[in-house]
Chains A and B, each alone.
Chain A
Amino acid sequence: MKLRRGKSLRHGLTAAVAAAALAIGGAVGGAEAKTFKWAFQGDVQTMDPHGLFETMTLGFQSNFYEGLVTRTPDLELVPALATSWENVKPDTWRFTLRKGVKFQNGNSFNADDVLFSVDRINTEGSDMKVVAGLIKEAVKVDDHTVDIVTPAPNPILPLQLEIFYIMDKEWAAENNTTSATNVKGDDQGNFANINANGTGPFMVTERQPDVKTVLVPNPNWWGQNKSNITEAVFTPISQDATRVAALISGDVHMAYPIPVQDWKRLEDANGVSPLTGPEARTIFLGFDQDRDELLASSVKGKNPFKDQRVRQAFYQAIDIEAIRSKVMRGSATPSNLMVAPQINGFNAAMNERLPFDVEKAKSLLVEAGYPDGFEVTMDCPNDRYVNDERICQAVASMLAKIGVKIDLLAQTKSKYFGKVLAQNNYDTSFYLLGWTPSTFDSHNPITALMSCRVDGKGAFNLGGYCNERVTELSDLIQVETDQEKRQALIDEAFKIHSEEVGHIPLHQQPLSWGVNDDATVAQRPDNVFHLQYVTVN
């Protein structure tokens, strides 16, 4: 967690608690209304907690819906609707549910709601089927105890359940919304798409999609709300310039993301400042190592990226320091691993990058038989990650120095992903991609990015990097319950991947928020924003 302007965490929290205490004290004598307004570049897409597996949407919903477990702003896993959990059998986790919790419509929360929510994420429109796949069945032991049986032993199940939110069974039945919102149509689920009824610290009182969403504190919340605000208003503002102007003019207390280029403007302006920190998202480059001939390259009859020396030459030709200081304005954290420090399994000892060395890179290319370099097309999104297109341009100019000519194809995200992902048969030779493990565990990128494309693994391994041991390790890591042994397996996977230069990790990109000096907010490394840590002077 990072608090604005050098205030220490302890300090900030103390202040927050004090403010909350004041607010409670003040409430008796008629507290003044404190409205907090904030803006993001897009709207939350649905109020349905099972409609879309996307960070912004799920993060927003976590203000009013809750899962069995949750995370603090430091990403520490803490109890929410479950008070404790244990692995009673290798394939069974027992969750003890919190007693006395009420949904915002007054209904009590109990085991039936958990079972119902498990059913709901299995319905047609649900985008939480990944979570559904983790659960073989949910068994009610008593009203406040639930056993979750997994298809195979799963040591990290609680980590994976943070974003599985619980919906009230009776409310869903009353409003005919027992299936998840379906993009296909039919009215099933559409009530939950625009209405919310959770157990969380805030409640939605008004929802106008793309215009504004108004929330107020939930007076019956079971937890300690650290916020002192009496009302929160969320507005999506898609244009960067308009969003920054709204922040500077004081129309909103907080706006994100702020373009990295505008940080200086915020520092120069009165009453606002940028709030930045390392995001848990790793940006990396990947190569097509699967085809026998690249789809878009001057090299015919063979694939240069199958040669480890070529991949390493690319790696060492990249001046990561220049990218950090020039493109990212000093705000990125260079990385040699495919995961960020906040991710479970990250090992700092292995995060040392290969040195930037143009001569070495050149000689590696000569050894590999490309003394004059070659030409290859690079795919790059231009509106998905922080300064994504500029990073690609910088990489292209760096590779030019070792004789590699890059044809840069930078496109909007819909077109980019439509080209490079599986449905288009991984149509790319060289690409830039970013990844935040949704579980905050290394197993997720090892499976999705680094494993061979077999048995549903390697879905985002766009270049088809394939080492059988890494793939095997992915399976072992999944079921290993001993934390030390598990870490050793994770280290081994990353070590092999690094040595073979399976991808070129670049950096963790920065979080970039702008905050009015009147407000204090907590920044979570995955860009999730929780109202319950907001205070307004």
Chain B
Amino acid sequence: MTAYLLKRAAAGLLTLVVASAVVFSVLEILPGDAARLMLGFNATEDAVQALRVQMGLDQGFLVRYFHWTGGLLSLDFGRSYTYSVPVIDLVAERAAVSLPLALISLALSTAIALPVGVFAAARRGRPADTLAMAASQFGVAVPNFWFALLLVYVFAVWLRLVPAGGFPGWSAGAWPALKALILPAIALALPQAAILARVTRSALLDVLGEDFIRTARAKGLPQRAVLWRHALRNAMLPVLTILGLQFAFLLAGTVIIENVFYLPGLGRLVFQAINQRDLIVVESVVMLLVATVIVVNLLVDVSYALVDPRLRTRT
């Protein structure tokens, strides 16, 4: 088990190193000189050159790469060209929007998907199952940003229950801030819930055919106990895998959803930074997201062992 986790951790670390090299090199070939873009096209060549030196752009590729990765490790992400603040502050401020958004969506999607999946599996082939699966088939096909637009129309424009967009900040109090995140979270969660419900159902159906389920039923356990305690626990492996993948997807999905709702999150930050050629911000945010994805996948690997005791003894 420990050996298995160490191996996974080493693979994750390797992925991070390669990812950092890829991100750095790809942005190297980005057309447009950052210094020139910042100063505008009327600036003198001398001024541009001076800024290049100040930003360290005159140094070699490898020097800048190691400077950057060294900085990442010590949580010094450098300074944003456009915002003139340390990138770490910028990222922390924006993550305070994106992270809760992704977590709320994940919780919401799980809270919808597990009961629907279990419900459908328990009534396999019956109208309730068919209906649930038809609904989920529809849910998978809905683009989250379109669903977001419809939600805005119904709940913000029509019913005026929640704001149509923008974010008051956590300083305005938890409730107004949460209120601004409700619609985006639902928009992100629903298509994910549809996928998760389908996976839960089919994983459960695999398990329900096994002998130990027949035993559990034979000894007179109620259906509810069989489903939730015996079957679901054994069906958790594929469900957890999808959950891990979904967290990554939710983080990335915030890029578009934050644009729909004008939320000042990481997604919007990276989108604006790309347009403004604020490379250091793009690099840092992308690396942060990749690192998060890797850590979450590692956590999924750990949770396998918690769910399935057989994996604990395996190396």
Real binding pair = no
- Report A's interface with B, CB cutoff 8 A: none
- Report B's interface with A, CB cutoff 8 A: none
